[in-house]
Chains A and B, each alone.
Chain A
Amino acid sequence: MLKRYLVKRLFVALPSLLIASLIVFTLPRLIPGDVVQLMLEEKAYAKDLDEMRAKLGLDRPIYVQYFDWLGHIVRGDLGESLWTRRPVTEELQRRLPVTMELGFVAICIAICIALPVGIISATRQDTLRDYTARSAAILGLSVPGFWVATLVIVLPAIWWGWRPVTGYTEFSADRIGHLVQFVLPGVILGIASAAALMRLTRGMLLEVLRQDYVRTAWAKGLRERVVVLKHSLRNAVIPVITVLGIQIAQIVSGAVIIETIFGLPGMGRFLFEAINQRDYPVIQGVNLVVVSGIVFVNLVIDALYATIDPRIRY
């Protein structure tokens, strides 16, 4: 049943993915300025603009380029960077794990903060603890990550003469250093997501806590921990998981800035540099991988619903 549902969902997602691929392909080409001109100005290794365009395949009609690109994607080929001539797939294989590690740390931190604080805030509605938690959550949503990142670099340097490491340490070179380098950026990325998730957890839990079956649980004399964690939380958590899927997209957005500030060679920084250099294949490749990843995560989340709530049948 679940399998049939997932296949159906995949078919519904396919047109969206196709439209997304069209957006992904068209948008970078609308960027003003000619990449070929930009390359020749800076590198001057080709004399003729037309010759260069033909070499890069940019002289063909856009629809031909699009279908050619789609054909290559089906075969797992995302093209080559116009600047470095390195395959985008190869570059992504190197950079994707960095962003995934960063995202994983951020998500873990977000969940660890959001769930307990959301539960306390909902069960102690309109008390000092609730007000404090809500204010902190709104503050978390309001403080720009790039500012926190800047302060994290500046303030310790001024106060204690210590600066967090910016740059990338390979896992093979230093295992501990590799893991530690994700903590600060992960915390900064995770805070905003934690705030959003905490507010949702509180809101959903408040709704569930007003249900008749929860009143019955109280009336039976069950302990608060059982009523909240066993009877209420499980029913409140489904929308939270849905939003967790949306937060992954937010984290990728945040990664564009945070990776740039902390010097992490992830996909976000790769994309930002590509946009500045009008590197079409890289912009297309990164966007397509990100969009497909988000669609896939949402599909997994849909499948998770039935596990969390046995009443859900597909």
Chain B
Amino acid sequence: MPPSTQEFAIKLGNGLPLESGEAARRAAFPVRAARSMWWFARRKPLGAIGAVIVIAMLVMAVFAERIAPFGYDETIRGARMRAPGPTHWLGTDNLGRDMWSRIVYGARVSVTVGFATILLGTVAATAVGVSSGYFGGGYDICVQRVVDAWMSFPFLVIVLSVMAVLGPGLLNVILALSVIIAATSSRVIRGATIGIAANTYVEAARALGAGHLRVILRYILPNVMATIIILATIGLGGVILAESGLSFLGFGIPPPYPSWGAMLSGSGRTYMFRAPWMALWPGVAISLGVFGFNMLGDALRDVLDPRLRGASGRTT
């Protein structure tokens, strides 16, 4: 007996019967958004946890002034290295500054660096990867040799060298990390472009007289977009981690603006035996933030990449 339409719709993957799918389309946007989020949370619980962490981090970054009880550089008289308590939830540092407030403001650095780097790096990677994969030939060979050379460097080595040239600062961290993202992502985007460019519809578009720019924008780019989105989402956590590493080594955001990595180095390490919370909370914040972005990125990749859906394939 053939499956009913409803069963067939369920097998298609979204878990919702066809009728409820149509009802969902008719429903208002907030209802649809809530239903999609509920579906995502049920299908990808770890991704949902990641999304909650990411949203919390974004809220902290945007509303830092309202959330933080003290200024990031506000020295509280008589409160040097105070242990966590009701007034100072996460304690204070060696200069009497509230740790919780500094961590809230630190989220702003991580989020800004994360999103700006991914945006800049991905745009550059798309330009290099798509053009290299589409045009091929000598141009591709030259570009790929440079990418090869760039990729053979350990990332921290190249970033440290670039940062030493540019000097510390928010914009410079973003630029240095974008260079790394651009090189590694461009290789993957190039691979995807080569696959798309081999399709007959691209050949047909060229035969009908479409220019290279039109073919790239109209036919290649939309088809490579899923790969680009996946690369961007899974790269965010790594960028935040790299920023904290740079700040730890003293090449990141200059003080007094708090960056989680910088909070762990310098005074954080000097006073870590007397005030261990100074070394504890910034690390927890970095780990939680990166964990959230990684979880969300993984879940989004699973949802966007059809090859990763479904069961193990073991015959039952």
Contacts and interface: CB of A to CB of B under 8 A. Distances in A.
Given A31-B164, A131-B46, A144-B286, A151 B280 contact: yes
Nearest to A208: B313
A275 B313 CA distance: 51
A219 B148 CA distance: 44
B8 interface: no
B14 to A, nearest CB: 17
B153 A290 contact: yes
A272 B160 CA distance: 8
B315 A218 contact: yes
A89 interface: no
A27 B311 contact: no
B52 to A, nearest CB: 14
B249 A257 contact: yes
Contacts of B217: none
Interface in B271-299: 272-273, 276, 279-280, 282-283, 286-291, 294-295, 298
A186 to B, nearest CB: 17
A138 B298 contact: yes
B273 A215 contact: no
Nearest to A216: B315
A32 interface: yes
Contacts of B269: 150
B200 interface: no
B77 interface: no
Interface stretch (B205-213, B220-228, B237-245): B237-245
A37 interface: no
Contact of A154 (B162, B273, B298): B273
A17 B290 CA distance: 33
A278 B167 CA distance: 13
Interface in A261-314: 271-272, 275, 278, 283, 287, 290-291, 294-295
Contact of B313 (A19, A141, A210, A291): A210
Nearest to A212: B313
Contact of B287 (A13, A28, A147, A203): A147
Given A256-B157, A271-B157, A209 B314 contact: yes
A139 B312 contact: no
B272 A142 contact: no
A126 B145 CA distance: 41
Interface string B251-264: 00000000001001
Given A147-B287, A252-B157, 19 more contacts: A17-B149, A20-B153, A27-B165, A30-B165, A123-B312, A138-B295, A138-B298, A144-B248, A146-B265, A150-B279, A151-B283, A154-B272, A158-B273, A158-B276, A209-B312, A209-B314, A249-B153, A260-B249, A275-B160
18 contacts: A20-B153, A23-B153, A27-B162, A31-B161, A126-B311, A141-B290, A142-B241, A142-B289, A147-B286, A206-B313, A209-B312, A250-B155, A253-B154, A257-B156, A257-B248, A257-B249, A278-B164, A283-B161
Interface of B: 45-46, 145-146, 148-150, 152-158, 160-162, 164-165, 167, 237-238, 241, 244-245, 248-249, 261, 264-265, 268-269, 272-273, 276, 279-280, 282-283, 286-291, 294-295, 298, 307-308, 311-315
Interface of A: 13, 15-17, 19-20, 23, 27-28, 30-32, 122-123, 125-126, 131, 134-135, 138-139, 141-144, 146-148, 150-151, 153-155, 157-158, 203, 206-207, 209-211, 214-215, 218-219, 249-250, 252-254, 256-257, 260, 271-272, 275, 278, 283, 287, 290-291, 294-295
The 4 closest A-B pairs by CB, nearest first: A210-B313, A147-B283, A253-B156, A142-B290
